[in-house]
Amino acid sequence: MKKVKKIIISLLVLLIILSIILIILIKQNNNIDENLLPNNELANTKVYASNSVKENNIYTILAIDNVIQNVIDYAKESNKQALYNITETNYIKRNNISTDNVITIYENIEKYYIQEMCAFETSTMSEYYTYGFILKENNDKPENYYFKVCKDSSNSTFSVSPLKIDEYNKAKEGKINKTENESIKSNLYNKYNYNLYSGKDVAEKYINDFIFKMKYIPDVAFGTLDEEYRNKKFSNIDEFKSYIKNNSERFDDFIIRSYGREATENITNYEVEDINNYYYKIKASSGMDYTIILDDYTVESNEYVQKYNSSSDSTKIATCINKFFKLINSKEYKSAYTYLDDTFKQKNFDTVGKFETYAKQNFFNNNTVTISSAEKVGDIYSCKVQIKSGVSVAAMSKDITVIIKLKENTDFVMSFSINK
């Protein structure tokens, strides 16, 4: 009996462990758009709208965007047969398209940045109407562009065609109530791949979209910034444009190193750190509707302040010194200058311009900070600090001494050893 009892207990423990693993796997995959999967039970029970509606599922948008980018890649490769085979049959007939002229539809498109999408779906056919910007070769002025992507769920196939603005507006106004295609025959190039997209893919999509806007349509990017962050960081659009110019290398080199995702009922927050230690926070409501913050120090949340106030002095010192060098990294010399001790400023840099010149000549373009020691004398700390020109093993380094005084709330003043 004891042996049987042990076996039962072991099985129960194993069952609990398997249940925990299953829950973790489900949570890890809660970013997947299950309706994109073939023969999915959710798709079979989905209630479809009787007319076209705005598509709010970011994972569906990612999937359709991937289809369009593949079409653009075929055009870059001059693969006429592939382009012909994936172009919508009705579009081909209406516009007298052949393998000889099909490339003219898509040629010179370098990249497509989808901004909004509408959809009309049935149990077997889905039609997606997209609005976005295209960049053409040797042209840095984005153009509005519209695509239609049809997906046949029964055959796992798709087709693509350019779209006129009035057709897109018709879909946006909910005036599409039937599909133009009954089915899409399979060929060598039009197999629909049911890719799975993660929260990291979503965060990357938002940030790359914002980087595109900064480079080519900064006025639109300015409006995409979180309102509180924008008002606190930039007095006007010109300051933002100057910020973009000064930080071009940061955004050219963007690659995600780590990210976090937290979803509430109406908002999904993404916190991202790139390979150069720059921070981003995205607040997404639906589809491509999002706002963005580009650092973790301009707007101090209640959580940040509470965490700071409950920290040890050594942690506060590290936070403050890192903040100073983050400002240097972002070329925000005026803001960094405000944290310098008045006497230190008067003796060494009586103007922001002089400090900026010194910082450019003596600090790195991207400084990472390590504090080896901090000695307290009265209410002042003397810290041994190493700054490095990045995170690689081959990064250059410099040793400096930082004198810092913690003030009320999260404020501080500091000075540092000067290279004569």
Q: What is the pLDDT of residue 330?
A: 96
Residues of the chain with pLDDT under 50: 25-43
Both structure tokens of 415: 């000075």
Q: 77 in helix, strand or coil?
A: coil
Q: Among residues 278, 268, 103, which one has the least CA distance to residue 199?
A: 268
| Kind plus residue range of the DSSP H or E element containing 293 | strand 289-293
Q: What is the pLDDT of residue 345?
A: 97
Both structure tokens of 277: 């230690």
Q: d(Cα 340, Cα 358) in Å, to the nearest integer?
A: 14
Q: What is the pLDDT of residue 2?
A: 53
Beta strand 412-416 with 256-263 is unpaired
Single-letter amino acid code for the residue at 239: E
CA 386 from chain centre, in angstroms, equals 31
Contact 58, 122 (CB under 8 A): no
Handedness of CA 7, 10, 15, 16 (dihedral sign): positive
Q: Which residues pair with 388 in a beta bridge?
A: 368, 397
Q: Among residues 388, 401, 396, which one has the least CA distance to residue 277?
A: 388
Q: What is the pLDDT of residue 42?
A: 43
N-to-C CA span, the chain:
84
Q: What is the pLDDT of residue 168?
A: 97
| Kind plus residue range of the DSSP H or E element containing 239 | helix 237-246
Q: Among residues 118, 130, 115, 132, which one has the least CA distance to residue 177?
A: 118
Q: Which long-range contacts (CB under 8 A, 24 or more apart) does 343-350 make?
A: 344/415, 348/418
Q: What is the pLDDT of residue 37?
A: 43
- pTM for the full predicted model: 0.86
Both structure tokens of 40: 């999915």
Task: For residue range 328-341, list pLDDT tens digits in order.
Answer: 999 999 999 999 99
